[in-house]
Structures are given as C-alpha cells and as structure tokens.
Amino acid sequence: MDTKTTLSISQARARIFDLADQVQKPGRVYTFTDKGMPKAVMLSAEKYESLLETIEVMRIFPNLDKDIAQVRRDIKSGAYKKYTTLEQLLAKDNALHPNNKTKSRKALRKNS
C-alpha cells in the first residue's frame, strides 16, 4: 500500500533527514509543493530503481499483459508443450552439444 504525503518544500526542508528515513519504509512517498503546486517527489532509491526497471521491461515487452494471457491459455490447452526449449535454443546457437548436454553445461559454466 502506497502512503503518499504532500508537504510544502519549506516543510520538507525542515524535516529532510526524517523524510529520508521515512521513505525507506515500503510504499512511503512524499510529494513536495511550491505555492500549492507539485514540484518534486521523494521516494527510496530502491523504489526508484524498481520503477526504472519496470519502465525498461515495459519498453522491451510492450504487450506483456497479452503475452502472459496467451501463455496462460497455452498452459490450459497444452499448447506450451510445443514451445522451443532453452536447450533447443542453445543447441541451435552451438552453445550446447545436443548429444551430450551434461558435458556442454559444464563447458558453459567454465566459459561464464
């Protein structure tokens, strides 16, 4: 649950160290205002990084919700059994020798 609090920049300035501690609590966010208008937001660095990662995933996978729905349908119908496996993809790129998976996995670990 996000707990959002709005403060004037002057109030925030007087409490900056306390606010920096408070935003470490899950869901705690502060909005700072100037003359009643929002000017800035304070949130934890962890939450900020999480938001950036979420934006990046959404950029890379713009239809993720549709893809997830399709996979759920495929699981129910059994169509997922026709999906290409990771081992098939790696074998295609010669990262795994298809006849000796154990040896190839060891080789992969050595090269990592």
Q: Where do the structural domains in the chain lie, given as residue ranges?
A: 3-47, 63-111
Residue carrying the six token digits 């298809």: 98
Residue 30 bridge partners (DSSP): 5, 42
Mean confidence (pLDDT) of the chain: 86
Q: Beta-carbon neighbour count of residue 30 at 10 Å? A: 20
- Residue 1 pLDDT > 70, yes or no? no
For residue 106, the model assigns a pLDDT of: 56
Q: Give the pLDDT confidence of 9-33 residue by residue, as tens digits.
A: 999 999 999 999 999 999 899 999 9
For domain 3-47, give the fold: YefM-like fold (3.40.1620)
Mean pLDDT of 70-97: 85
What span, in angstroms and rounded, lies between the C-alpha atoms of 34 and 40? 9
For residue 87, the model assigns a pLDDT of: 85
Q: What single string gives the DSSP state of each residue in 77-99?
A: HTGGGGSPPHHHHHHHTTSS-TT
Are the C-beta atoms of residues 57 and 65 closer than 8 Å to each other?
no
pTM above 0.85, yes or no: no
For residue 10, the model assigns a pLDDT of: 95
Tell me the CA distances in angstroms from 112 to 90, 95, 106, 107, one per residue in order.
14, 12, 10, 9
